[in-house]
Structure 1
């Protein structure tokens, strides 16, 4: 997706949310479909990690 599609990113080093790709990609999480979802990036990652951990325990 490109910047014109409205992709949003979360910068883990600053906690800022931005629209479109910006420098320092190593600190960036996304893309997310909207600003509100990008602001939840850490929460989303934690939820996914819990789900993956639960699946690992089942194996």
Structure 2
């Protein structure tokens, strides 16, 4: 069985009770993983942002620093 996190209600749903795709994150293999969906997404975003900063030399991205 797969599990989904509903971002509107904050509830974990199963395939049988899943809401529209636009309001859910997943699928996850366990209820616990689905319940931690927002924290997992936040951690991934922070990790990817740190990797981007490292890759770009530590600076922040802005349109003025981009070459045409």
TM-score by length of 2: 0.74
Mapped to 1, the partners of 2:30 and 2:47 lie a distance apart of 23
Residue aligning to 2:48: 52
Which runs of structure 1 show a deviation greater than 4 angstroms over 4 or more consecutive aligned residues? none
TM-score by length of 1: 0.84
Structure of higher CA gyration radius? 2
More helix as a share of residues: 1
Q: CA deviation at 1:54?
A: 0.6
Structure 1, unaligned stretches of length 5 or more? 1-5
Residue aligning to 2:4: 9
User: What SS is found at the alignment partner of 1:13?
Assistant: coil
Structure 2, unaligned stretches of length 5 or more? 56-68
Measured on the aligned residues, the alpha-carbon RMSD in Å equals 1.1
More relative contact order in 1 or in 2 (CA 8 Å, sep 6+)?
1
